[in-house]
Amino acid sequence: MKEYLLLNLRALKGRAYPRVVGGTRELSWIFFDTVLPLLTVAAYVFVYKYLGTFEGPQQEYIAQFIGYVILGGAMTAYWMNVLWSMAAQFYWEKEIGNLQLYMIAPMSRMAVLGGMALGGMFYTSVRAISTIVIGVLIFGVTFSLGPPIYLVLVFILTLIALYGMGMLFASLYMIYGREAWHMSSLLTEPIYLVSGFYFPVRYLGSIVALSASIIPITLGLDALRQLMFTETAGIHGFLPVEVELVALAVLSVLFLFLARHSLRFMENLGRKTGRLTMRWQ
């Protein structure tokens, strides 16, 4: 048991290392991954600034909404990383011929994906922090922070649940034979809308917001906004932070559990049939 645990820890480290080192090897990538996404963020910021020129009660909330956009733009980095570097990972590994090596290696497939997740978190966090810093410097956003322990817990649980979902998608893409590229493209923009990346999700209505809460970043982003802009937390927040913390913990356990069983099903399918996709008649 001890040797198996050490083996999985080495596998986790081995898969995280290329993403940590590779993310800084080509410095031009850091520029494009950090600066270019700010163009979309800036578009929404200028829309809110324009709305602030009109007389009305909404003027006092314009500064908070600009902050919401900056934070949402930073969190898009994690969603894109989950879609393209986690969910589609086994599909791409199959395309380049590495998937067989993962299947016959004695370590757990969860360790492989866990290492990819840790490496992706590091590289993506660099981009997210840069987006927030640049956005604050350019647009003058100010924060009124809540309890730091809540901030840390919300952020960690959001990432665990989000990358757990990515692990689940990684196996589902393989099992059902869907084209990962098309599926990832299909999910990108709709999630931007229903998860409230550029506006508080509560304004989509309770039914849509509750439905979107199955996606961890919806609740995580809403909780982070309430904790980083406490002055308007009760006005624009969807659910109390404590409730969202519990929900994120449940989603973390749920997605990791489903990912584990989905990966096992994929392995068993490969052993029994010699293939890793479902063929529908």
Rounded CA gap, 202 and 116, in Å?
A: 33
Rounded CA gap, 194 and 167, in Å?
A: 21
Nearest to 222 by CA among 248, 188, 249, 196: 196
Contact assessment for residue 226 and residue 211, using Cβ atoms and an 8 Å cutoff? no
In DSSP notation, 21-67 reads HHHHHSHHHHHHHHHTHHHHHHHHHHHHHHHTTS-SGGGGGHHHHHH
**Paired strand residues for 9:** none
Rounded CA gap, 129 and 38, in Å?
A: 12
Rounded CA gap, 90 and 100, in Å?
A: 10
Q: Which long-range contacts (CB under 8 A, 24 or more apart) does 39-42 make?
A: 40/73, 41/69, 41/70, 41/72, 41/73, 41/131, 41/135, 42/138
Plot region of 274 (φ>0 → left; ψ -120 to 50 → alpha; else → beta): left
Nearest to 157 by CA among 82, 71, 253: 253
Q: Could you list the pLDDT tens digit for every one of the 281 residues in the chain? A: 777 788 888 888 877 877 777 666 666 777 777 777 778 888 888 888 887 777 665 666 787 888 888 888 888 888 887 877 777 777 777 777 777 777 777 777 778 878 888 877 887 887 888 888 888 888 888 888 888 899 999 999 998 998 888 888 887 777 665 566 677 777 778 888 888 888 889 888 889 889 989 999 999 999 999 998 887 777 888 889 999 999 999 999 999 899 888 888 777 776 676 666 555 43
* Per-residue model confidence (pLDDT) at position 182: 73
List the chain domain ranges: 2-273
Is 278 strand, coil or helix? coil
* Per-residue model confidence (pLDDT) at position 55: 66
**Paired strand residues for 144:** 229
* Per-residue model confidence (pLDDT) at position 253: 93
* Per-residue model confidence (pLDDT) at position 114: 80
Q: What is the pTM of this model?
A: 0.83
